[in-house]
Structures are given as structure tokens and as C-alpha cells.
Amino acid sequence: MTTTTLAPVPPAPQSRHSSERLWKGTPLTWFGLVLGVILSLFPFYWMIVVASRSNDAANAWPPPFLPGGNLGENIGRVLSNTDANIVKGLLNSVLVSGTITVATVFFGSLAGFAFAKLRFRGKNALLLIILASMMVPIQLGVLPLYLLMAKLEWLNTMPSVIVPFLISGFGIFMMRQYAEQAVPDELIEAARVDGCSTWRIYWHVVAPALRPAAAVLGLLTFMEQWNQFFWPFVVLADPANPTVQISLRTLNSAYFADTSQIFAGTLIATLPLFVVFVLFGRQIIGGIMEGAVKS
């Protein structure tokens, strides 16, 4: 495989190896990184190119490589597409992702605090259940869950994609990890001696200390929920009340594939997370990397 060329080349034979030299990027390092960046970014660029072309130009040979002038028109067409309901989809996605994010951060930090800093019987067993719950794919219970939603009359409404996901095991774990090292036991004991109730300790001592981790958890949760597809596909079958990802699916299942309109849709669906990434990319990347070291 050609990709193995990315591995570092042997250093020139010599007696002195300064650490500076050992960690220097070789031309191959640069080649690999630049190629990686181009491959990572090209589909985004391509999205803009096709979304800004007329359909004839998008389906041309050779394919277009530069953006055209039809972006506004294509966006207008997708926004007014009465089958896909993408405006409603966007609003629903904001509602769903926002609600789940707030709940995940709140309940995650509360339970994470309890697991990290409070003593109670059965703690380890409960923690194990949470860990196990993270390994279970939603497919395992998809049919009964669907029937439950039907019984609750939640099909094709937002509670069906919000309520089951309000609290995540991952969120509890992440906050527990962080609370363990960020909140000193002495601080909690001091607050107890001063007569603070557990709730007051959480609210005034622990919650402020957990803020950095809470921000990262919030960002990761929001991104994950915004991009959710499988379960919404199951319970939001009626295209009149979709999330934005389901709107995209509706666009794609039209009889005539309107490529530039579909791409305008993907652009709109990605834009909110693009903004989030530009503003908070460092925190998101830090969160992914930090989680990796601890797990």
C-alpha cells in the first residue's frame, strides 16, 4: 500500500542525535499532512461548488471545479421545497439537540459528581450498569422502543427523539472522570462542616469547577445529536415533521435527483456545526484527545 510511505524515513547515519533533530518534520511528514488536509477539506469545497451551480452544470462532463453563481437560487429552492420541509427540520433539530445537550450536561454533572465524590452503597455496581448501557446498540431494542413510542403517541413528534436520549452514560462517565481530579475532597468536606447540604455543595462548589468539562460535553453532545440519523429515520417517517437530517433523506428520495438542490441542503445542514467548529474547534479537539487518554 502506498500509504506506508507516510512512515518516517531513517535518519542520516551520524553520531550526534539532538532531540531537535529527532522530532523534526521530514518532507514525507509534510507530504502526508498536506495530502491529509486536502482530502479532509475537499468534500466541503465540493459541496460549495455543486451547491452554487445550476443542475446542468453540476451534471456536466468534465465535472465543474469552481463555484458558480447559483448558490442563492439553490438555497431558495431547497428552503421552499414543500416535501423536505427543511426550515422546520432545522428548527426541530435546534430544539432536539439543544434540549438533549442541556439535559445531558445537567444530569451528567449531577450523577458524575455523585459517583466521583459521594459515598453510597452499590456505587460500583451502578457504575457498571451505566458502562454496560453504553455498549448496547439501539438496534437491539428498536422494535419495542418503536412500539412504545406508538403507544405514547409520540411517533412523528419530537419527544420520540428527545426523551430517550436526555441522559447519556457517556456524559456521566466523562463528568465523573473530570470531577475526580478537579474537585478536591477537602473543599467538599469544608463545605459540609459549614453546614452545606449536598445540593448546595453541588450547585456552589462542584458545578463551577466542572464548567470546562461541561462545555466540552455540551459541544460533543450537540454535534452528535445534530447528526443523529438512524432513530429519527425510524420514528419520524412523516416528512411533514422532520429533523434536518430527515429532510436531507427526503430530498434524496425524490424521483428526480436534483443534485444542486440536495447539495444546497447538505450545506445548510452542515453550516451550524461548521460555525460551532470554527468557534470552539480547539475545545472539541481537546475534549476528544483528553477523553482518549483517560479511557
Pick from 78, 96, 100, 130: which binds other proteins (CB under 8 A)? 130
Instruction: Determine, following the binding rule CB under 8 A, whether residue 20 of this chain makes contact with other proteins.
Output: yes
Instruction: Determine, following the binding rule CB under 8 A, whether residue 177 of this chain makes contact with other proteins.
Output: no
Pick from 189, 211, 240, 279: which binds other proteins (CB under 8 A)? 189
Q: Name, in order, each residue with C-beta under 8 angstroms of 92's C-beta and a sequence gap of 6 or more.
A: 158, 241, 242, 243, 244
Residue type, 252: N
Q: Total number of residues binding other proteins (CB under 8 A)? A: 117
DSSP 178-229: HHHHHS-HHHHHHHHHTT--HHHHIIIIIHHHTHHHHHHHHHHHHHHHHT--
Span near other proteins by CB under 8 A; candidates 74-82, 84-92, 112-120, 208-216: 112-120
Cα(101)–Cα(214) distance, rounded to whole angstroms? 10
Q: Which of residues 47-106 bind other proteins (CB under 8 A)?
A: 47, 50, 58-63
Helix (H) or strand (E) holding 175: helix 169-182
- Report the Cα 138 to chain-centroid distance in Å: 17
Instruction: Determine, following the binding rule CB under 8 A, whether residue 151 of this chain makes contact with other proteins.
Output: no
Instruction: Determine, following the binding rule CB under 8 A, whether residue 240 of this chain makes contact with other proteins.
Output: no
Nearer to other proteins, 41 or 240 (CB): 41
CB of 212 to other proteins, least distance (A): 17
Nearer to other proteins, 69 or 195 (CB): 195
Instruction: Determine, following the binding rule CB under 8 A, whether residue 245 of this chain makes contact with other proteins.
Output: yes
Nearer to other proteins, 80 or 252 (CB): 252
* Cβ-contact 260, 70 below 8 angstroms: yes
Instruction: Determine, following the binding rule CB under 8 A, whether residue 230 of this chain makes contact with other proteins.
Output: yes
Pick from 128, 131, 143, 240: which binds other proteins (CB under 8 A)? 143
CB of 273 to other proteins, least distance (A): 4
Pick from 54, 156, 157, 259: which binds other proteins (CB under 8 A)? 259
- Report the Cα 270 to chain-centroid distance in Å: 12
Q: Name, in order, each residue with C-beta under 8 angstroms of 104's C-beta and a sequence gap of 6 or more.
A: 166, 167, 168, 171, 217, 218, 221
Instruction: Determine, following the binding rule CB under 8 A, whether residue 121 of this chain makes contact with other proteins.
Output: yes
